[in-house]
């Protein structure tokens, strides 16, 4: 267990502010969410550094700056029903769950999903529904979504996710293989507008499921 993680979290938030994160709600939630509980105990001492860390099964917990950036972009729009693709450790899920009414999270690796579900329960976050499934397919039976956030890089924007976005909704996702960029996609009827935010590095969005 980490001693004085509040002080470490406070310093992390100061760094995020210096890096351009301005949404106070996002900063408050990042500060109060115990990131060290979302990773192997052997790495917990690095929990409040601004870095991505391995969580097993070839996956990572995202860099805090990226979590804050994607969440801030999402909250620039009135998103209350959000689809998350890639539950992973559950950290981004926990941040979202404290900022929107309902989160629907899809994870392809059952073992990671089980651990994330347990962590969210420990934090008393009960507005999250989880599905073990292929992130490329989304969660059509729960669509449409005001917002979609994708925490792994797709080679192209998944068509199924575009169709599950509500009219006026927004999707935040990394796209690319060797070179990846973060995009904001808005839906206006049958039209989609894309805005490139900048270069990023994520694990790939892989098709299929694993136990």
* 37 falls within a domain: no
Q: What is the CATH number of the domain that holds 123?
A: 3.40.50.150
| Helix residue ranges, H only, the chain | 5-18, 24-32, 64-75, 91-97, 110-122, 159-163
Asked if residue 205 belongs to a domain, the reply is: no
pLDDT band at 69 (very low <50, low <70, confident <90, very high): very high
Of 22, 32, 42, 62, which one is the catalytic site residue? 62
Residue 31 covered by a domain? no
Distance CA 186, CA 166 (A): 9
On whether residue 77 sits in a domain, the answer given is yes
Helix (H) or strand (E) holding 103: strand 102-107
Percent of the chain residues topping a pLDDT of 70: 99
* For residue 132, pLDDT beyond 70: yes
Please, what sign has the CA dihedral across residues 110, 147, 197, 91?
A: negative
| Residue 177, in any domain of the structure | yes
pLDDT for the residue numbered 86: 96
Residue 208 within a domain? no
- In this predicted model, which residue has the larger pLDDT, 56 or 70? 70
Backbone φ, ψ for residue 164 (5° rounding):
-90, 0
Domain that holds residue 190: 50-200
Find the mean pLDDT for residues 33-37. Answer: 95
Q: Does 82 score more than 70 pLDDT? A: yes
pLDDT of residue 2 exceeding 70, the answer is no
**pLDDT value at 6 more than 90:** no
Instruction: For residue 110, tell me if it sits in a domain.
Output: yes
Answer with the residue of higher pLDDT: 78 or 184.
Answer: 184
Domains identified in the chain, total number: 1
Q: Where does the pLDDT of residue 3 fall: very low under 50, low under 70, confident under 90, or very high at 90 and above?
A: low
Residue 62 designated active-site:
yes
* Residue 112 in domain: yes
> What is the pLDDT at residue 78?
87
Contact by Cβ (8 Å): 16, 22? no
Can you tell me the distance from the alpha carbon of 125 to that of 123, in angstroms, rounded to the nearest whole number? Answer: 6
């Amino acid at each position: 267990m980490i001693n004085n993680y509040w002080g470490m979290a406070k310093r992390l938030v100061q760094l995020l502010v210096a890096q351009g994160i301005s949404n106070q709600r996002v900063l408050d939630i990042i500060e109060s969410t115990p990131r060290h509980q979302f990773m192997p105990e052997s790495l917990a001492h690095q929990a409040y550094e601004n870095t991505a860390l391995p969580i097993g099964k070839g996956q990572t917990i995202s860099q805090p700056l990226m979590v804050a950036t994607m969440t801030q972009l999402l909250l620039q729009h009135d998103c209350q029903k959000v689809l998350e693709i890639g539950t992973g450790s559950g950290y981004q899920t926990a941040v979202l769950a404290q900022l929107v009414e309902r989160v629907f999270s899809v994870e392809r690796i059952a073992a990671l999903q089980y651990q994330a579900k347990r962590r969210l329960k420990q934090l008393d976050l009960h507005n999250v529904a989880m599905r073990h499934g292929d992130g490329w397919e989304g969660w059509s039976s729960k669509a449409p979504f005001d917002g979609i956030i994708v925490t792994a890089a797709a080679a192209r924007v998944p068509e199924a996710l575009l169709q599950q976005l509500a009219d006026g909704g927004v999707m935040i996702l990394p796209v690319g293989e060797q070179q990846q960029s973060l995009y904001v996609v808005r839906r206006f009827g049958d039209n989609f507008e894309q805005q490139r935010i900048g270069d990023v590095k994520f694990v790939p969005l892989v098709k299929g499921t694993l136990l």
